[in-house]
Structure formats: C-alpha cells, structure tokens
C-alpha cells in the first residue's frame, strides 16, 4: 500500500522568497517519488524524480527536493520564487506491486506568488 | 513531436448521455492511464492498461469503461451510470520499465448539465 500527504492545500509566498512545499509518503516497498507541476487547464509536467540514486534531486526551473527516509518526506524547495512559479504542485509515490509501478498522487498544493 | 493528444478539450453533455473521451499517444509507450481530477482531491486512477487488449480497474472505475485495441489509443467512456461525471480528465502514458514516471496529455474538461 502507498499513499502521499501534501501538507497545506495553499502556500503563499512573496516573489523572491523561499518556496517550500511539503510531501510525506507511506510505502511498504522502496519508493520512487515524483513532483509534478500543473498550470491551469493543462496536464501535469514532471519537475523531478527520486529513483534511489542521490537523495538530493535537482529538477527543472530551479526546483529541488530531498529524500529523507527517516522522516518519510520528499519536500520540494526553490530558493527564490518567481511569478511564473504560481501553479498547482503534486507529489506522487510509486513502488513495485506485482511487477507494476502505478503512482499514487497527493491532493496537490496551490502555490501563490505575490509581487 | 511526440506526445499525448486528448480530445475534445471541453465537452458539454446532458445528464444520462454517454460520452467518449479520446486519448492518442505517439510515444510508443506500452502503458496508458486515465485519471480524474476534482478540486482539492488530487488525481484518482480510473483505469489503466499495460498492454493491448488488457486493462485493469483503478480506484474509481464505477461508471466508466475503456478499451485498448491499439497501442496508441486508450479511449474512456463516461457512462450514464457515473453519478457525478463533471470533472477534468487526464490521460497519461509510461514506457516499458518505467518506475512510475508518467507523461500527461492536456486534459479534457467534461461538464454535465
């Protein structure tokens, strides 16, 4: 069984401030973890993924995330927010189940960036 | 360019009517998925297919049906049995050997009047 909890349905930051979006996961097998971004009325785009190599993962648009097994967390960060970062962000977890990897998504966090 | 094409982008239907959403991919991916997205509920899996002529129910399959007659195509039918069909529907695909990374289409927004 696997699940994802994203803390905070909305996060509001000022332009130039640190972005921190929280994700905790539960998985009975070694997890693979993902962050996706969604702009209004569009599909999801992969930001970054953890696949058991380095625990600190760098993605597109200056985002990064750190896998912490002891805390079962995979929080997404960006040092300085830009107006164009305003979007919905989804954390997802997958793990081997019968030879398949079907991801489970969190409920999403809406990032609001103020000028 | 390779990608996933969903159509139509917007669809309006009357209650009691079946509607079929199209999903086509030219990524040569083996697996395809349908998710439903509602505000504040994230993405919920409706159906998925890992090979042609085979598919499995996801978490919320009731009121939906699918087919996978070709590798490139995975249409979703929203039947009149689906009690609350108004939603944003997302199609996705993944390659053989993927550990869960999905490629998404642009989505179809269905509104039932």
- Give per-residue pLDDT as tens, B11-53: 999 988 999 999 999 999 999 999 999 988 899 999 999 999 9
Beta strand segments in A8-108, E: 10-14, 19-27, 32-38, 44-50, 56-58, 64-68, 73-78, 87-94, 104-105
Bridge-based pairing of strands A44-50 and A56-58 is unpaired
Q: A89 in contact with B at a CB cutoff of 8 Å?
A: no
* Mean pLDDT within A18-30: 93
User: Measuring CA to CA, which residue among B91, B52, B49 is closest to residue B69?
Assistant: B52
Contact A34 B50 (CB under 8 A): no
Q: Which among A32, A44, A108 has the least Cβ separation from residue B100?
A: A32
Contact B101 A49 (CB under 8 A): yes
The model's pLDDT over A82-112, given as tens digits with 9 standing for 90+, comes to 999 999 999 999 988 777 889 999 999 999 9
Contact B102 A103 (CB under 8 A): yes
* DSSP label of A61: G
Q: Sign of the C-alpha dihedral, residues A74, A78, A83, A84?
A: negative
User: Measuring CA to CA, which residue among A49, A74, A64, A24 is closest to residue B102?
Assistant: A49
């Amino acid at each position: 069984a696997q699940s994802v909890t994203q803390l905070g349905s909305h996060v509001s930051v000022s332009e130039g401030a640190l972005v921190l979006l929280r994700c905790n996961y539960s998985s009975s097998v070694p997890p693979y973890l993902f962050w996706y971004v969604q702009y209004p009325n569009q599909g999801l785009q992969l930001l970054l993924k953890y696949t058991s190599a380095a625990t600190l993962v760098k993605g597109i648009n200056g985002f990064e995330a750190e896998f912490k097994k002891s805390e079962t967390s995979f929080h997404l960060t960006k040092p300085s927010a830009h107006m164009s970062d305003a979007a919905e962000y989804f954390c997802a977890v997958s793990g081997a189940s019968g030879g398949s990897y079907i991801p489970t998504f969190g409920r999403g966090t809406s990032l609001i960036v103020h000028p | 360019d390779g990608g996933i094409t969903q159509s139509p982008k917007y669809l309006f239907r009357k209650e009691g009517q079946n509607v079929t959403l199209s999903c086509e991919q030219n990524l040569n991916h083996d697996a395809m998925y349908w998710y439903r997205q509602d505000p504040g509920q994230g993405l919920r899996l409706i159906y998925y297919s890992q090979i042609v002529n085979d598919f499995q129910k996801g978490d919320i399959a009731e009121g939906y049906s699918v087919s996978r007659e070709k590798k490139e195509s995975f249409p979703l039918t929203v039947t009149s049995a689906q009690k609350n069909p108004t939603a944003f529907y997302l199609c996705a695909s993944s390659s053989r050997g993927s550990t869960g990374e999905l490629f998404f289409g642009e989505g179809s927004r269905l509104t039932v009047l």
